[in-house]
């Protein structure tokens, strides 16, 4: 790594540590970041895995913890876009996961400029960091709750459609649901499930994701993902006082978490990021 790259890496690390100290609570785990609670949960909400993200957003609206939420909603065909939900009904209309890179910070800035104060944001690790920086900038002007998603990588929509058409023989635009679990990508089309190994879709992955070392959204107030939980459940990592407040009296069936599985993927993503940076250096 060049001196310039090393300086940038060190600066980024220091920024992350400063954000952790400012917004998060409890001690830091070497692999999972700062957290005060870790469990698996299943709610009564239909959705991805245990429906936890939808349940948390609905709870937040019902208890007045936030007035609006920046969420990702499916667009036309297999596409996704950031949108604003102002009610529980709008949250439920957008349930499900889209494995595509979406910029949520533009919507967040719009809401802040409109004078919105209590805002929730659902986002991936890279977006969570950007949201925290915005929160620093507008300190005292708004209260933001971040629900971070586990993310190994995001896909480019056009390339993913091409890869799934070749490998699975499907039109991804017609998929009712897509899911990644245990290293397998699956799509439900016309009531039939098609699947392949996620690794087979490497060409469709966003290249920038190979440099990211955060799997569990370590700067979020609450992190949610499927890894570490059995089918039908979601893993929940609570990281701050804001997260604890949102999870207070949370109506869900709880279960144990396989922490080792989460740690394994977290370490794997970190190692991939190191190798990608080293390769970038060798090409200069």
Question: pLDDT digits over 109-126, tens only?
Answer: 999 999 999 999 999 999
Q: Mean pLDDT lowest for which of 76-80, 112-116, 161-165, 273-277?
A: 76-80
Chain centroid to Cα 144, Å, comes to 16
* pLDDT value, residue 11: 52
Q: For residue 14, what pLDDT band results from cuts at 50, 70 and 90?
A: low
* pLDDT value, residue 199: 93
Q: Taken in order 159, 163, 169, 173, is the CA torsion positive or negative? A: negative
Q: What is the mean pLDDT of residues 229-245?
A: 95
Q: For residue 284, what pLDDT band results from cuts at 50, 70 and 90?
A: low
* pLDDT value, residue 12: 62
Contacts with 209 (C-beta within 8 Å, 6 or more apart), sequence order: 101, 152, 153, 154
CA atoms within 13 A of residue 132's CA, in its CB half-sphere: 23
Chain centroid to Cα 54, Å, comes to 13
As a whole number of angstroms, the distance between CA 174 and CA 190 comes to 8
Q: Render pLDDT for 136-173 as a digit per residue (tens, 0 to 9).
A: 998 888 999 999 999 999 999 999 999 999 999 999 99
Q: Identify the three-state secondary structure at position 96.
A: coil
Please give the model's pTM, rounded to 2 decimal places: 0.90
Which domains, from first to last, does the chain contain? Answer: 3-153+209-282 (3.40.640), 155-205 (3.10.450.750)
Q: 181-195 in b/e burial notation, b at 16+ Cβ within 10 A?
A: eeeebbbbbeeeebe
Q: For residue 283, what pLDDT band results from cuts at 50, 70 and 90?
A: low
* pLDDT value, residue 2: 44
Could you tell me what percent of the chain has a pLDDT over 90? 74
Tokens 């699975």 identify what position? 168
Extract the tokens encoding 11: 């600066």
Q: H or E element: which one contains 14?
A: helix 3-23
């Amino acid at each position: 790594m060049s001196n310039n790259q090393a300086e940038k890496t060190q600066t980024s690390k220091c920024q992350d540590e400063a954000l952790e100290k400012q917004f998060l609570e409890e001690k830091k785990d070497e692999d999972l970041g700062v957290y005060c609670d870790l469990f698996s949960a299943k709610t009564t909400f239909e959705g991805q895995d245990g429906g936890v993200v939808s349940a948390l957003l609905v709870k937040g609206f019902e208890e007045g913890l936030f007035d609006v939420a920046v969420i990702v909603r499916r667009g036309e065909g297999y596409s996704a876009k950031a949108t604003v939900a102002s009610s529980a009904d709008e949250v439920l209309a957008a349930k499900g996961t889209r494995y595509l890179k979406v910029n949520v910070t533009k919507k967040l800035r719009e809401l802040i400029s409109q004078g919105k104060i209590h805002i929730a944001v659902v986002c991936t690790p890279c977006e969570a960091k950007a949201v925290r920086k915005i929160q620093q900038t507008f300190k005292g002007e708004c209260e933001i709750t971040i629900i971070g998603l586990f993310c190994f990588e995001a896909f480019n929509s056009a390339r993913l459609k091409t890869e799934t058409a070749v490998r699975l023989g499907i039109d991804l635009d017609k998929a009712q649901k897509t899911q990644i679990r245990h290293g397998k990508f699956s799509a439900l089309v016309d009531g039939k499930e098609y699947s392949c190994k996620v690794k087979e879709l490497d060409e469709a992955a966003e290249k920038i994701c190979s440099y990211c070392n955060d799997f569990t959204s370590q700067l979020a107030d609450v992190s949610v993902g499927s890894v570490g939980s059995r089918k039908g459940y979601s893993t929940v990592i609570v990281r701050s006082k804001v997260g604890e407040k949102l999870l207070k009296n949370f109506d869900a069936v709880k279960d144990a978490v396989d922490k080792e599985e989460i740690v394994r993927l977290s370490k794997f993503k970190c190692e991939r990021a190191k190798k990608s940076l080293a390769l970038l250096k060798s090409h200069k």
